[in-house]
Amino acid sequence: MKQRYRPRIGLRVPVRFVWEAEVGQGQTLDVTAPGCLIESPAVVRQGQSLQLGMFIPGHIFPLSVSLGAVRWAKGKRFGVEFIKMHEFQQRLLQRLMAEHRQAASTIKPASS
């Protein structure tokens, strides 16, 4: 199995995506700099191109991906690779991931 080249963060946020003349909604399950895992009742196919917006808590506008590609689809889950994002959106994603990793590293396990 191919090893991941970037760490994923568990980030469950609403997502809306558009392909051809269709609009779908779902939820991200995890995110990394080059892509995300989405769960949705919408039916998408491997190889399909789409645009998507992730609704991040505390942000007025969604994090936007102008071009994504469905790399795999199985049941109600599919993986999207981010192909094209505005530079500002890329920086926002990187900052969000850094904040999430920092928050996760400061959580201390409960002692018995």
**34, 23, 40, 50: which is closest to 93 by C-alpha?**
34
CATH number of 14-103: 2.40.10.220
77-89 confidence digits (pLDDT tens): 999 999 999 999 9
Residues of 55-68 as b/e, b for ≥16 C-beta within 10 angstroms? ebeeeeebbebeeb
6-22 pLDDT, tens digit per residue, is 677 788 999 999 998 89
Average pLDDT over the chain, rounded to whole? 86
The answer to whether 12 touches 25, Cβ cutoff 8 Å, is no
Q: What is the pTM of this model?
A: 0.82
Break the chain into its structural domains and give their ranges: 14-103
